[in-house]
């Protein structure tokens, strides 16, 4: 089925979401939370329709010969829809990111100045397969007082359409005012040109967040006239210093590489300082036994050869730059922490890096000198996640330094305005 697209109706939809967002920004916390509760309840009520729509997407994917992993990401069942509804309710239970005053100060002339949290406005979310992103993203935006324009992948088109229909019914049943109930917009077409068009609406959409593969992110970055918060590659490093506890090292490296290798905060390169080479046999054995294929530097390859471990090498620049997203790992011995930081500067993607050490000076240098979004000491890179860091819920992980850098929670969907209260002051 083709879904023809009209630039005029797309523009009208974005304009309507923008009007709604202005009204939504003025709604009290209770009304926004009620909207989320109604959205969750509507998802549950429309489980059958959503499953039927999802069935169409799944059949199409199978007809097109998509692999099982792809279909698994796409497929919904009653439990998954219940999880989506629960996630929306959990967001309702989070503290309101709006309305608070971040700072208040008084000027010598008596002016009282404050920064107050307000929504960003309208957020465009452009994403791929998983249909649960539809309800997660919509809920985070409504909670934070933002309008949202959703553009999901064509593979999940029918599922997303059914989910949005349910979410909108929830908004209509809520205590939001009438205008604010239009705050969820949906790009109701599979035509790719619609995305290019959408990305020109800089007067209606305040920020675009692409979530998906490199192709999608590059496309959005190249075509957008709207500010983009990128969620780019995670070429994450762990550096092992000689003073690190060997049991911690083994546990953290296995956790960071093996627990869920396909995600952006998994370790992709291990840097072993010369001071820690005596730990290499244990490290390489443990990783190898866990099924990790090792791309080794000349020094570590000799250790692996002595241990008769399977190995790939010598590792080259391409291996150091690779986001494997699988049970593969590059390993490099470097003389000092300075060399490790240089390696990260050159090959890293500014996402997440960890140092394992018990040396305070090394720890402080690493924290000072590594400018990635998340810098960890003695912990797994897998903690680089909004939920794990205590942000409550995550819309993504930004590798753009502007506005939000690293995991983004509700607060990162807001900005501040200045509020200035005087008693008749004029400027002299």
Applying CB under 8 A, the residues found at the interface with its own copies are 22, 25-26, 105, 107, 111, 113, 116, 118, 120-121, 202, 206-207, 221-222, 225, 227-229, 245, 247-248, 251-252, 254-256, 259, 345, 363, 367-369, 371-380, 382-384, 388-390, 400-403, 405-407, 415-427
Residue 27: Cβ within 10 Å count: 22
Rank residues 40 and 226 by Cβ distance to its own copies and give the closer one. Answer: 226
Rank residues 36 and 254 by Cβ distance to its own copies and give the closer one. Answer: 254
Rank residues 237 and 382 by Cβ distance to its own copies and give the closer one. Answer: 382
Rank residues 20 and 37 by Cβ distance to its own copies and give the closer one. Answer: 20
Task: Mark residue 245 as left, alpha or beta (left: phi above 0; alpha: psi -120 to 50; beta: remaining).
Answer: beta
Contact between 280 and 272 under an 8 Å Cβ cutoff? The reply is: yes
User: What's the min distance (Å) between Cβ of 366 and its own copies?
Assistant: 10
Rank residues 4 and 12 by Cβ distance to its own copies and give the closer one. Answer: 12
Say what the alpha-carbon torsion angle 104, 107, 109, 110 is, to the nearest 10 degrees.
20
Nearest to 299 by CA among 326, 247, 339: 339
Contact between 94 and 143 under an 8 Å Cβ cutoff? The reply is: yes
User: What's the min distance (Å) between Cβ of 19 and its own copies?
Assistant: 9
Counting beta carbons within 10 angstroms of the beta carbon of residue 285, is it exposed (0 to 12), middle (13 to 18) or buried (19 or more)?
Answer: middle
Rank residues 78 and 425 by Cβ distance to its own copies and give the closer one. Answer: 425
Rank residues 76 and 118 by Cβ distance to its own copies and give the closer one. Answer: 118
User: What's the min distance (Å) between Cβ of 18 and its own copies?
Assistant: 10
User: What's the min distance (Å) between Cβ of 405 and its own copies?
Assistant: 5
Return the bridge partners of 354, or none: 238, 376
Instruction: Find tokens 């900005």 and name the residue.
Output: 415
Using DSSP's 3-state secondary structure scheme, residue 67 falls into: coil
Contact between 50 and 163 under an 8 Å Cβ cutoff? The reply is: yes
User: What's the min distance (Å) between Cβ of 65 and its own copies?
Assistant: 35
Using DSSP's 3-state secondary structure scheme, residue 42 falls into: helix
Contact between 176 and 124 under an 8 Å Cβ cutoff? The reply is: no
Asked whether the CA dihedral 251, 254, 257, 259 is positive or negative, the reply is negative
Using DSSP's 3-state secondary structure scheme, residue 124 falls into: strand
User: What's the min distance (Å) between Cβ of 34 and its own copies?
Assistant: 19
User: What's the min distance (Å) between Cβ of 367 and its own copies?
Assistant: 5
Rank residues 245 and 339 by Cβ distance to its own copies and give the closer one. Answer: 245
User: What's the min distance (Å) between Cβ of 276 and its own copies?
Assistant: 15
- Rounded distance, CA 409 to CA 393, Å? 5
User: What's the min distance (Å) between Cβ of 116 and its own copies?
Assistant: 8
Residue 305: Cβ within 10 Å count: 12
Rank residues 8 and 105 by Cβ distance to its own copies and give the closer one. Answer: 105
| DSSP structure class, residue 392 | S
Q: What are phi and psi of 339, to 5 degrees?
A: -65, -35
């Amino acid at each position: 089925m083709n879904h023809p697209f009209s630039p005029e109706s797309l523009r009208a939809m974005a304009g309507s979401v923008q009007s709604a967002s202005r009204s939504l920004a003025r709604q009290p916390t209770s009304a926004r939370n009620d909207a989320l509760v109604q959205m969750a309840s509507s998802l549950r009520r429309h489980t059958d329709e959503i499953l039927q729509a999802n069935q169409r997407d799944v059949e199409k994917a199978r007809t097109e010969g998509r692999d099982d992993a792809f279909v698994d990401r796409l497929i919904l069942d009653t439990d998954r829809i219940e999880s989506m509804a629960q996630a929306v309710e959990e967001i309702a239970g989070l503290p309101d990111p709006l309305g608070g005053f971040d700072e208040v100060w008084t000027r010598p002339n008596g002016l009282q100045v404050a920064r107050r949290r307000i929504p960003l406005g309208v957020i465009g979310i452009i994403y791929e397969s998983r249909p649960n992103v539809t309800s997660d993203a919509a809920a985070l935006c409504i909670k934070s007082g933002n309008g949202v324009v959703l553009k999901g992948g064509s593979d999940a088109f029918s599922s997303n359409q059914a989910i949005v229909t349910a979410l909108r019914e929830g908004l209509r049943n809520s205590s939001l005012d009438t205008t604010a109930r239009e705050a969820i917009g949906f790009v109701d077409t599979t035509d790719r040109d619609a995305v290019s068009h959408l990305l020109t609406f800089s007067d209606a959409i305040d920020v675009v967040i692409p979530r998906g593969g490199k192709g999608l992110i590059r496309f959005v970055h190249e075509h957008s006239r709207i500010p983009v918060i990128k969620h780019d590659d995670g070429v994450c490093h762990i550096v092992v210093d000689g003073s690190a506890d060997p049991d911690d090292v083994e546990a953290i490296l296995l956790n960071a590489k093996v627990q869920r290798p396909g995600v952006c905060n998994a370790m992709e390169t291990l840097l072993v300082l010369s001071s820690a080479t005596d730990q290499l046999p244990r490290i390489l054995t443990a990783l190898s036994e866990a099924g990790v294929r090792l791309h080794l530097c000349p020094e570590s390859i000799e250790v692996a050869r002595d241990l008769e471990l399977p190995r790939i090498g010598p590792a080259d620049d391409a291996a150091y730059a690779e986001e494997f997203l699988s049970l593969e790992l590059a390993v490099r011995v470097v003389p000092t922490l300075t060399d490790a930081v240089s390696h990260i500067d050159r090959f890293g993607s500014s996402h997440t890096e960890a140092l394992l050490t018990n040396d305070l000076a090394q720890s402080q240098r690493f924290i000072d000198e590594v400018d990635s979004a998340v810098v960890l000491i003695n912990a797994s890179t897998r903690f680089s996640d909004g939920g794990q860091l205590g942000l409550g819920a995550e819309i993504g992980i930004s590798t753009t330094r502007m506005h939000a850098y690293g995991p983004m929670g509700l607060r990162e969907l807001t900005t501040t305005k200045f509020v200035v209260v005087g008693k008749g002051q004029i400027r002299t």
